[in-house]
Chains A and B, each alone.
Chain A
Amino acid sequence: MKNQEKEILDVAFLAGNILLESGAEIFRVEETVERIARAYGIEEYHSFVLTNGIFATYANAQGEIFAKVKNIPVSNARLNKVAAVNQLSREIERHKYPVEEVKKRLIAIRQMEGKKKLTQIIASGLGAGCFCYLFGGTFGDAFSAFLTGMVLYCYVLYVSCYQSKIIANMSGAALVAVVSILLFQMFPQLHLSNVIIGAIMPLLPGVTFTNGIRDIADGDYLSGTVRLLDALLVAVCIAAGVGAVIIAYHNWLGGIML
């Protein structure tokens, strides 16, 4: 295999890798990888993408076969990277960049900074507060959800990122319930349920759920099922975390429900 061909495959594969780990649908990953390969004149390129891995093979004119397999662990949604890779693949189709330059740009995209942690924490609080209000909370409830949402995201960014998914979601939801109950103890006019509902919003598996549905709609049943199962698991963990704290509050501390 010529060096140039190998380079093209690596670049296409890297693009797929970034897309998959940043929360793109399976269909987009397969399409982008094949599109980049085709833009450089490689027709016999086939990829098979799952939620946590890419399998790609390529056969050149001499009949030599090249294959690459990589496990790609699922991480958080980084939609800026999805947008950037998508933009790059469009540009490649229009004006053929040299492969080296594409590689450089992909590596730059991979290292792209996300939003600052403080910004994310404030956004989490704001989202929690707004949705608490939408689900019927008062302004007081919304403000409590704002505070709880910020506490939650500090926990998510600094502590629970080192834990397994199950424990991270259960403990995060439990933390939300504990903080909400503390606020409720201080200000009894709050509606405890509304505060909790708003503040658990940042934990909800919206990305996984939406992508799972889209994968199934595209016919990628295997990946879609895995993602929906993942979303269900997260939802159950959140319910368990909140539920455990409510049981403790109700039974052992004699708290008044609602």
Chain B
Amino acid sequence: MIWELIAAFFGTIAFSVIFHVPKKFYPYCGLIGAVGWAVYYLLREPAGVVMGTLGATIVIVFISRIFAVRKECPVTIFLISGIFSLVPGAGVYWTAYYLVVNETSMAGVKGMETLKVALAIVLGIVLVFELPQKIFHIGTKDQ
């Protein structure tokens, strides 16, 4: 678990470098990635991959919005880097893999799962962005 958190932290920072995030935001991006992965990891066993992704997305978007208000910068910066670990790259791979080895039913299963994970990310992002902006100003000087 501890190694996975470290990997999620540095993996997320690596992708924020590729997206040209300013240097001072690296630790925040890494933290969001690690927390998101921890939530996903804890929910995956009892609740399944889809619910794990939904939970992790909700947490990631929530923290991203908090950081965006505190640091006075666009939420995109934290959100894109943080959400990257949840984008179902493995799902895309396995779907393609089972298709080319002619295991169509497995390809269907993996394809549906990939779609569900994508929809979970959609739902998570939409849900948290419906929360009014005021909530995120609590405790800051704007309040």
Contact = CB atoms under 8 A, between A and B. Distances in A.
Interface in A187-219: 193, 196-197, 200-202, 204-207, 209-211, 213-214, 216-218
A243 B89 contact: no
Interface in A1-57: 23-25, 28
Contacts of B125: 210, 213-214, 217
B80 A200 contact: no
Interface string B1-38: 00110011011011111111110010000000000010
B109 interface: no
Interface in A112-138: 114-115, 119-120, 123-127, 129-131, 133-135
A57 to B, nearest CB: 26
Nearest to B5: A134
B25 to A, nearest CB: 8
Interface band, chain A: 35 or more
B18 A23 contact: no
Contacts of B90: 135, 197
B101 interface: yes
B77 A134 contact: no
A246 B97 CA distance: 8
Interface in B47-91: 72-74, 76-77, 79-80, 83-85, 87, 89-90
A133 B83 contact: no
Interface band, chain B: 35 or more
Nearest to A125: B14
A120 B18 CA distance: 6
A119 to B, nearest CB: 6
Nearest to A85: B74
A23 B96 contact: no
A115 B21 CA distance: 9
A210 B83 contact: yes
A130 B11 contact: yes
A193 B20 CA distance: 29
Interface in A220-258: 235, 238-240, 242-244, 246-247, 250, 257
A125 to B, nearest CB: 8
A90 interface: yes
A79 B80 contact: yes
A70 to B, nearest CB: 22
Given A83-B22, A197-B89, A200-B89, A243 B96 contact: yes
A103 interface: no
Nearest to B4: A134
A206 B89 CA distance: 10
A179 interface: no
Contact of B80 (A131, A153, A206): A206
Contacts of A115: 17-18, 20
20 contacts: A77-B20, A78-B19, A79-B77, A83-B21, A83-B22, A83-B73, A90-B72, A120-B17, A123-B18, A124-B14, A126-B14, A130-B8, A130-B11, A135-B90, A201-B89, A205-B87, A206-B84, A211-B80, A217-B130, A240-B96
Interface of A: 23-25, 28, 77-83, 86-87, 90, 114-115, 119-120, 123-127, 129-131, 133-135, 142, 153, 193, 196-197, 200-202, 204-207, 209-211, 213-214, 216-218, 235, 238-240, 242-244, 246-247, 250, 257
5 smallest A-B Cβ distances: which pairs? A130-B11, A127-B14, A239-B96, A123-B17, A126-B14
Given A205-B87, A210-B80, A247-B100, 11 more contacts: A78-B20, A81-B20, A82-B76, A83-B73, A115-B17, A134-B7, A197-B90, A204-B87, A213-B121, A242-B93, A246-B101
